[in-house]
Amino acid sequence: MGLTIAQKILQDHIVRGNVNVGEIILARVDLAFANDVTAPISIDFLKRIGGKIYDKQKIALIPDHFTPNKDIKSAEQCKTVREFAEQNNIPHYWEVGEAGIEHVLLPERGLIKPGMLVTGADSHTCTGGALGAFATGVGSADTGFAFATGMLWFKVPHTIKFIYNGKRGKWVMGKDLILYTIGKVGVSGALYKVMEFTGPVIRNLPMDDRFTMCNMAIEAGGKTGIVEPDDITRKYLSERGVKDGVFYKSDEDAEYDDIIEIDVSNIEPQVAFPHLPENTKPISEVAKEDIKIDQAFIGSCTNGRLSDLRIAAKILKGRKKDKHVRLIIIPSTPLIYRQALKEGLFDIFLDAGAVISTPTCGPCLGGHMGVLASGEVAISTTNRNFVGRMGSPKAYIYLSNPAIAAASAVLGKIGSPDEL
């Protein structure tokens, strides 16, 4: 019986065990990372078990959640991470001004490559699977163990193969494909399983959209999302000076837990209703419901990349946001910020009445830069719309792609660019 991409990567990193589904293995970790919220716990765990780092080149620390520091507590957390990085001469540490959202920054810096085994003390670590890596979120103590030993235990997961056929329609992005998929399988439909995204549509999908899809694999309960690396992957890596990596692909006789085929031809832009990402509806249905909004947010590790900002600017150009709407736009990294500025996108956003922030996770987790009050409604390009996710537990969060979010900011209600 053949092996899936995920099994091949795990097999290549095994220290003990075998890659039969359900087996517990010990495996070498190529990169372990944490942020300003999770790293202090990892650092404390590391100190409690001896405090010695296995390999400082295989650690990354990214203060991105409550930075620039929201309050005294967040400042203390960042201080802990900063001092640890300085004391141990960690090369992959970025301070405010250089730091970006970890799941966008690390690939951008060429630190995640095909064939790698990557762990992060954050659930959206699965974003890295878009590059053909096995990238998965783990606990902070597990991360501290990886810091100390360069290894971690894993249970070999089943894989579900998702085959996307057809042709994407107008305004349909990777965000819509993954929202539609989550709506189809449910938030636990891929529980502790690999979501392998493949088919003609994926092979022609830009890298940014692949990142978005893998980012939200966790919203279906997935252990990770993964895409077979190809020429699009190679071009992305080449632009960042990366020449190595192992380009695995699944064997033809690999065993899958399930194979799900999806025809994208009739998929419209999707909107996930409160309070789960599985509560999806096509925009044609949503537009009829006259859902007025108080805030529109474009950003996060899901949709804060340059292509996302470009499409938002295309819709906002020459238009003003509705006077009752707060429009918040946050580029995911300083490089994206600088390029958007260079291309004149900021002028378009500011003319539309938007506020632009330095790179931060900020409002995605209800941290800062756009926390919602009781009863408020937001359209957001983020990945989660749980109760209380972006502020008050009495607020309402709708998830969409950047085109829908930008159009909604202008309309004052959730709607499509075609309505403008």
Give the per-residue pLDDT at 287: 84
Give the per-residue pLDDT at 51: 80
Nearest C-alpha neighbor of 184 from the set 280, 40, 255: 280
Q: Which amino acid is at 60?
A: A
Nearest C-alpha neighbor of 304 from the set 216, 405, 382, 372: 382
Rounded Cα distance between 36 and 60, Å, is: 11
Rounded Cα distance between 403 and 311, Å, is: 6
Give the per-residue pLDDT at 389: 94
Give the per-residue pLDDT at 263: 97
Q: Which amino acid is at 303?
A: N
Look up the CATH number of domain 272-419. 3.30.499.10
Give the per-residue pLDDT at 205: 97
CA distances from 193 to 91, 128, 161, 327, 346 (A): 33, 16, 10, 36, 40
Beta bridge partners of 413: 292
Contact 214, 128 (CB under 8 A): yes
Contact 81, 98 (CB under 8 A): no
Q: Is 284 exposed, middle or buried (0-12, 13-18, 19+ CB in 10 A)?
A: exposed
What string of pLDDT tens digits covers the 420 residues of the chain?
Answer: 799 999 999 999 999 999 999 999 999 999 999 999 999 999 999 999 988 999 999 999 999 999 999 999 999 999 999 999 999 999 999 999 999 999 999 999 999 999 999 999 999 999 999 999 999 999 999 999 999 999 999 999 999 999 999 999 999 999 999 999 999 999 999 999 999 999 999 999 999 999 999 999 999 999 999 999 999 999 999 999 998 899 999 999 999 999 999 999 999 999 999 999 999 999 999 988 999 999 999 999 999 999 999 999 999 999 999 999 999 999 999 999 999 999 999 999 999 999 999 999 999 988 899 999 999 999 999 999 999 999 999 999 999 999 999 999 999 999 999 998
Give the per-residue pLDDT at 288: 87
Q: Report the DSSP pairing between strands 158-165 and 258-263.
A: parallel
Q: What's the residue count for the chain?
A: 420
Q: Is the peptide bond before 275 cis (omega within 30 degrees of 0)?
A: yes
**Which CATH superfamily is 5-9+12-262 part of?**
Aconitase, domain 3 (3.30.499.10)
Same fold, 5-9+12-262 and 272-419: yes
Handedness of CA 201, 216, 353, 394 (dihedral sign): positive
Instruction: Tell me the domain boundaries of the chain.
Output: 5-9+12-262, 272-419
Residues 6+ away with beta carbon under 8 Å from 47: none
Give the per-residue pLDDT at 300: 96
Rounded Cα distance between 193 and 256, Å, is: 10
